[in-house]
Every structure is written in structure tokens, then in C-alpha cells.
């Protein structure tokens, strides 16, 4: 068999095993009864070991070596050249990690997640503590596979943002933190918008969420929407995009969750089918992915033009609560800067402070400077310092996110970097189509969706994150457009 054909076949089989893992993980969070926890953890561990052994097989390395001269002769932007680059990176990276460690981590992650669900429900960090200690111990063993390193956090960050270093994130956040804090101090309000407290019938929230997902361009023959404890999106194959959400009668956060997860789904759905079952079939990086969820949720979904179109639908769904509330009051309410406990419910401005908190604590945990048993106290103290609120319990504090239960150290900073990128990308889209906001007022989003698909989505992860950002926005990550966007929005709201 020709070497490139053999390599692609092997990579396709690895991708199939990984998709099967994703199916089991999705089912574990959405449909699986609690009693299935132990057997599901074992299944995921087995599949992880199978995938790892295949990814690090000597034959993969031999084929990559054979194909190196061919890669040098290819157009560097071609699918094959990019697949070979990504396959080489994955092979050399994963060869450092023993298959047993990869399998053990997968099993403990599955068990730990279920422990987190129970601990969160009862607001009992002590019940989750031994699981987090175990996850962290395994993650540190993983990190040591990549020694020497400049910073242990570099290793976990690179899993989500190839090529980025901890010092890069620190530099970006050093610019953002004081500016965001100043905006929150200047604009945060304790004013209660009673009309935003419901009750909002859950079935109507689902109807509206589905309408938004359809309007943005998704198709229900390729998408699903289900309910979970902590919302997420996962793509299980071409034409199989799973969105999840959660509903509460006392707020309308579900509408923004739907837009957020839809942004992730549109990105994955827009990857060229030619790249399916290859190492470059997914989004370019976690930050690029978050740029899309944040763009659709915030830049589009909190804008006045958007609500000129969609607010009448929301008001018709909830006439008793919103029938007498003017559009300007509602739009101000969904953009108002507030001090709140929950990251996923935070306003667009203060959201960054929630991310910075987690980034700071993660570095301490990974480096061993902060013991897991001391994490709640460290969280509460730093949260009060950053956000200005005293955390009343673990459910509203250290237990609110699922990420650490599954070992996703290194992911949190990409949320804020993605927010920064969302505005850079939006400005480029608006340069190409200056009337986008007029289209939003008519409920038309196809032109934005198509521009994003053609300029970003279709490429998957063919290029490095830095290369992708350069191609889409014409330069590196820049915090200033994001800060300008926040200042302008808050200034407009204050003057209204």
C-alpha cells in the first residue's frame, strides 16, 4: 500500500475510536443512569488505551519518516501537507506518554465527573476533594512526561492552544485584568431587573432556544439539543453535532447558552468534509472555538439589532413577565455589568474576571504551590478580591464548573482569549459586509455564517492557531479591539 494511503487509513481508524469515546462520554452526561458510572469509566479507559497504542505505533513513525520528502514538496497549505504536520506533532507528543497512564487518566476522569455532579448538588467540596487530588496527581505525571519545560502549565496549555505559552497568557491578562476591573467598578449595578426573574416556562425556553439555533444556520438533521448539568457541545461525526443546555424558571440564561453552544456546533459543522477522519478535522484550537461561541452569544446575541428582531418573540412567549417591558430595558438588562458568582451566567464584562481567577488558581495547583484541600479558601479569597463578592458556599464557588473533574487544566484561559478573538474576527466580518447589523434586525444571519465558514470553519485545524488567527484577522491576538468594544457598549448603555 502506498505510504500516504496507509497512513491516512491508520489515522482514520484512530479518529473512529476517538469518536466512539465521544459518543460514550456524551451519553454519560446526557442519558446514562447513575448506576452505569463504573462500567462506563472502564469502557472509556479501554478505548483511550486502544487509541493511544494506535497513535504511538512504530509504524506511524515509519510512515511519517517515509513521507517527509513528499511533505517537503507539497504546497504547505494543501490538505495532505497539513495532515502530515498534525500527524507528526501528535505522534511525537503522545509517544512521551505511556498508554497505561492515558487509560488510567480516562477512567478516573469519568469516575471523577460523576463524583463532581454529586458534590456540586450537595455543595460539599470535601466529598470531591480526593477525586480532584487524584486527577491532579495523574495530570502531574502526564506533565512530567514532557520534562524539561519552562513552566509545567505550558504542557497542559499546549493541549488546547498549540504553541501558546503561559507567559503569553499572563501578558494578555495583565492588559485585560485592570481594564476589565475598572469597567466593572464604573458600570456594575446592583439594580434588580425584576422582570428578568420569571417565572419563565421551560417548554417555551426550549422553543425559543431551538428557533435561535435554526436562525443561526443549524439544521436539525445534523444537530441535537439536550439537557445536562453543565452545558457543552461535541461533534460525533460529519452531520452529527450534539448541543446541550440547561433551563431554570428564574432566568433566561438558556437563550444565551443555546447561542453559545450553537457557535461551537457551527464551527465543527463547517469544517470541510474532506478533512473527516483526519487529525485536522476539528476546530483550530480551544480559543478559536471559544471565539465562535462568544461571537454568536455576545457580539451578535446581546446586540440591539439582534433584539430588535428577537425580542418580540420572547415577549410573546412570556407576556405576563415582559409584555410591558420596553426593548431598551430588556437589552440593557442582558448587557448590564453585574457582580455574580457563576461564570456561565456572568455578564459579558465581568466574565473575564471569572476566567482570570481560574487561570491563577490552576497555575498554583499544577505547580504544587496550592494544595487541593486549600482550594476553596483560596478561591473564595481571590474571588472576593477580583469580583467583590463573598462566596456563600462551594456550589456557587469552587464546585460550579465541571472542567477540573475531568482534568481539563489549561482550558479556562482560552475562554477569555476567545472573547478577545471574537471581536477581532467580528470586525473583519463587518469590514467584508458592512450591513450585517441591518441584516440581524431582519433575523438574517446567513451572510455572517457563510463568511465565517469560508474564512475560518472550513479549514478545521489545518494550520496552527497562530497561523489561523493571522489568516483570519491579519495579525496576532490583540486585546484592544475587545476592550474598545466593551467600553463602547457600556458607554452606550449608560447614556441611554
**Which residues belong to the active site?**
261
Grid cell for residue 20: 466512539
- 66-74: which pairs have CB atoms within 8 A and are 24 or more residues apart? 66/3, 67/3, 67/4, 67/7, 70/3, 70/4
Q: Is residue 12 within 8 Å of residue 277, measured between CB atoms?
A: yes
CB-based contacts of 491: which residues, under 8 Å, 6+ apart?
none
| Nearest-angstrom CA–CA distance, 403 and 477 | 25
Chain centroid to CA 35: how far?
28
CB-based contacts of 310: which residues, under 8 Å, 6+ apart?
212, 443
| Nearest-angstrom CA–CA distance, 253 and 251 | 6
Q: Is residue 205 within 8 Å of residue 258, measured between CB atoms?
A: no
Within a 10 A sphere around the Cβ of 112, how many other Cβ atoms? 25
CB-based contacts of 94: which residues, under 8 Å, 6+ apart?
52, 55, 56, 102
DSSP per residue, 204-264: HHHHHHHHHHHHHT--TTTEEEEE-SS--EEEEETTEEEEEE---TT--HHHHHHHHHHHH
Amino acid at each position: 500500500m502506498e505510504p500516504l494511503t496507509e497512513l491516512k487509513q491508520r489515522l482514520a481508524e484512530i479518529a473512529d475510536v476517538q469518536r466512539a469515546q465521544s459518543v460514550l462520554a456524551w451519553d454519560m452526561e446526557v442519558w446514562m443512569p447513575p448506576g452505569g458510572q463504573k462500567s462506563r469509566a472502564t469502557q472509556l479507559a479501554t478505548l483511550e488505551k486502544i487509541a493511544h497504542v494506535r497513535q504511538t505505533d512504530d509504524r506511524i513513525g515509519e510512515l511519517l519518516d517515509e513521507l517527509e520528502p513528499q511533505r517537503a514538496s507539497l504546497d504547505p497549505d494543501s490538505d495532505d501537507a497539513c495532515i502530515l504536520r498534525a500527524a507528526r506533532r501528535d505522534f511525537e507528543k503522545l509517544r512521551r506518554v505511556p498508554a497505561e497512564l492515558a487509560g488510567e487518566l480516562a477512567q478516573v476522569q469519568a469516575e471523577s465527573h460523576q463524583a463532581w455532579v454529586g458534590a456540586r448538588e450537595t455543595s460539599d467540596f470535601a466529598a470531591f476533594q480526593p477525586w480532584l487530588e487524584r486527577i491532579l496527581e495523574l495530570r502531574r505525571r502526564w506533565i512530567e512526561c514532557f520534562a524539561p519545560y519552562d513552566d509545567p502549565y505550558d504542557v497542559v496549555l499546549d493541549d488546547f492552544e498549540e504553541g501558546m505559552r503561559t507567559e503569553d497568557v499572563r501578558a494578555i491578562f495583565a492588559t485585560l485584568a485592570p481594564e476589565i476591573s475598572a469597567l466593572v467598578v464604573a458600570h456594575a449595578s446592583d439594580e434588580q431587573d425584576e422582570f428578568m426573574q420569571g417565572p419563565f416556562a421551560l417548554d417555551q425556553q426550549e422553543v425559543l432556544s431551538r428557533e435561535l439555533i435554526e436562525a443561526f444556520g443549524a439544521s436539525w438533521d445534523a444537530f441535537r439539543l439536550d439537557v445536562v448539568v453543565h452545558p457543552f457541545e461535541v461533534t460525533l461525526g460529519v452531520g452529527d453535532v450534539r448541543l446541550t443546555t440547561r433551563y431554570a424558571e428564574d432566568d433566561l440564561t438558556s437563550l444565551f447558552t443555546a447561542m453559545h453552544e450553537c457557535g461551537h456546533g457551527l464551527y465543527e459543522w463547517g469544517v470541510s468534509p474532506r478533512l473527516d477522519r483526519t487529525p485536522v478535522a476539528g476546530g483550530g484550537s480551544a480559543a478559536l472555538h471559544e471565539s465562535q461561541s462568544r461571537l454568536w452569544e455576545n457580539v451578535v446575541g446581546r446586540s440591539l439589532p439582534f433584539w430588535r428582531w428577537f425580542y418580540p418573540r420572547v415577549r410573546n412567549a412570556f407576556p405576563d413577565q415582559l409584555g410591558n417591558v420596553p426593548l431598551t430595558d430588556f437589552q440593557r438588562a442582558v448587557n448590564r455589568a453585574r457582580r455574580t458568582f457563576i461564570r456561565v451566567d456572568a455578564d459579558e464584562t465581568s466574565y473575564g474576571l471569572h476566567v482570570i481567577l481560574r487561570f491563577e488558581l490552576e497555575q498554583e495547583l499544577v505547580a504544587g504551590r496550592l494544595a487541593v484541600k486549600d482550594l476553596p479558601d483560596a478561591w473564595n479569597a481571590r474571588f472576593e478580591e477580583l469580583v467583590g463578592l463573598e462566596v456563600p458556599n462551594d456550589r456557587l464557588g469552587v464546585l460550579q464548573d465541571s472542567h477540573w473533574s475531568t482534568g481539563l487544566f489549561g482550558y479556562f484561559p482560552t475562554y477569555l482569549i476567545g472573547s478577545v478573538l471574537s471581536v477581532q474576527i467580528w470586525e473583519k466580518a463587518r469590514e467584508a459586509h458592512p450591513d450585517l447589523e441591518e441584516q440581524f434586525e431582519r433575523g438574517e444571519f446567513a451572510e455572517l455564517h457563510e463568511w465565517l465558514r469560508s474564512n475560518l470553519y472550513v479549514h478545521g485545524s489545518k494550520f496552527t492557531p497562530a497561523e489561523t488567527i493571522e489568516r483570519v484577522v491579519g495579525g496576532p491576538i490583540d486585546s484592544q479591539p475587545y476592550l474598545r468594544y466593551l467600553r463602547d457598549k457600556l458607554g452606550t448603555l449608560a447614556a441611554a
